[in-house]
């Protein structure tokens, strides 16, 4: 498994295990999944306090059974800020959320803490104060955000001493807006609506690693595009590339993300050991420029 320097700081696997659905597994099943991830070279595990109402973090702690001597083998990331019906980036909430995650994860520190979704009521000075307290106490090593645009990041970074090293964003063959907005510059067609406003380039310039969530999904909650009748051409192309490269179609779809020079980390949320093993094979190939664009167009994305 190849390594990425997240935000030019932490050396982590280019594929990470997303633990959102871990609460649906037994401790034994979760343990087997975590061991499979490690066998495949995955050392990064992505959580959030809302996943399973906190149960995913609890299951992970029981299943991984991390000891002081083995803690260094795990890079643990969690997120906070989403509450029932509202978002909360207040100093008090961030500190309470981290204490809750530390307790559920049974660890003395979190490697990376992300703010989960933009809170329009955010006071950046409160966030900065919370980050400073967490960093100085040793409870959190690094910080980042999720689903934020460049202006929101810049605004928050102005007040934070700690560098924001990650922005977790939805990105996949069937949700390629990050790339598409940069390809449609100066076009008058409706698809040129600049929802991301150079966010991909901004993160690259500022050494902020993009983490791709739902890398095999389309829409926000619609489902998987693999073997999906709505994506016939894409699946035909994935099957073709699968045969050509000697890896499963799911791995081809992840390899498409890993091919981007932004060095994007793919967060895969499977609960299947076999599926995870298939996906991990993405790290064994590199798509050519022509192959990358072939898949991009097959997903319904058009070049100007």
Specify whether 201 is located in the same domain as 120.
Answer: no
CA 286, 290, 294: angle at the middle one, nearest 5? 100
Neighbours of 241 (CB within 10 A): 23
Residue at 5 is within a domain: no
Rounded CA-CA distance 135/203 in Å is 23
What pLDDT score was predicted for residue 181?
A: 79
pLDDT in tens, 47-77: 999 999 999 999 999 999 999 999 999 999 9
Rounded CA-CA distance 12/126 in Å is 29
**CATH number for the domain harbouring residue 212:** 3.20.20.100
What pLDDT score was predicted for residue 124?
A: 98
Which residue in the block uniquely carries the two structure tokens 């994935």?
238
How many structural domains does the chain have? 2
What is the extent of the structural domain holding 116? 10-170
Catalytic residue (choose from 51, 87, 142, 296)? 51
Residue at 78 is within a domain: yes
pLDDT in tens, 188-247: 666 555 566 689 999 999 999 999 999 999 977 678 999 999 999 999 999 999 999 999
- Is 293 among the residues known to form the active site? no
Specify whether 214 is located in the same domain as 88.
Answer: no
From 138, 194, 129, select the one nearest 161 (Cα to Cα): 129
Specify whether 158 is located in the same domain as 177.
Answer: no
Specify whether 200 is located in the same domain as 55.
Answer: no
Specify whether 186 is located in the same domain as 141.
Answer: no
What pLDDT score was predicted for residue 303?
A: 87
pLDDT in tens, 250-284: 999 999 999 999 999 999 999 999 999 999 999 99
Specify whether 163 is located in the same domain as 15.
Answer: yes
């Amino acid at each position: 498994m190849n390594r990425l320097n997240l935000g030019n700081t932490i050396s982590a696997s280019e594929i990470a295990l997303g633990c959102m659905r871990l609460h649906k597994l037994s401790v034994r099943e979760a343990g087997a999944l975590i061991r499979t991830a490690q066998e495949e070279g995955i050392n990064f595990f992505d959580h959030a306090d809302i996943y399973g109402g906190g149960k995913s973090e609890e299951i992970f702690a029981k299943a991984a059974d991390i000891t002081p001597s083995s803690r260094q083998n795990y890079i643990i990331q969690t997120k906070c800020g989403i509450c029932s019906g509202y978002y909360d980036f207040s100093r008090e909430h961030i500190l309470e959320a981290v204490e809750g995650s530390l307790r559920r994860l049974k660890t003395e520190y979190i490697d990376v803490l992300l703010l989960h979704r933009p809170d329009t009521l955010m006071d950046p000075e409160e966030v900065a104060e919370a980050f400073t307290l967490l960093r100085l106490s040793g409870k959190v090593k690094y910080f980042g955000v999720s689903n934020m645009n460049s202006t929101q990041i810049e605004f928050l970074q102005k007040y934070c001493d700690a560098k924001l090293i990650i922005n977790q964003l939805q990105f996949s063959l069937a949700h390629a807006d990050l790339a598409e907005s940069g390809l449609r510059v100066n076009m008058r067609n409706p698809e040129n609506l600049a929802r991301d406003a150079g966010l991909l380039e901004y993160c690259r310039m500022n050494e902020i690693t993009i983490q791709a969530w739902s890398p095999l999904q389309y829409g926000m909650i619609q489902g998987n595009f693999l073997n999906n009748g709505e994506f016939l051409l894409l699946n035909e192309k994935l099957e073709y590339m699968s045969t050509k490269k000697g890896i499963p179609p799911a791995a081809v779809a992840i390899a498409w993300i890993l091919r981007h020079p932004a060095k994007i980390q793919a967060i895969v949320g499977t609960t299947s050991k076999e599926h995870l093993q298939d996906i991990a094979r993405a790290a064994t190939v590199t798509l050519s420029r022509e192959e990358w664009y072939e898949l991009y167009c097959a997903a319904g994305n058009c070049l100007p």
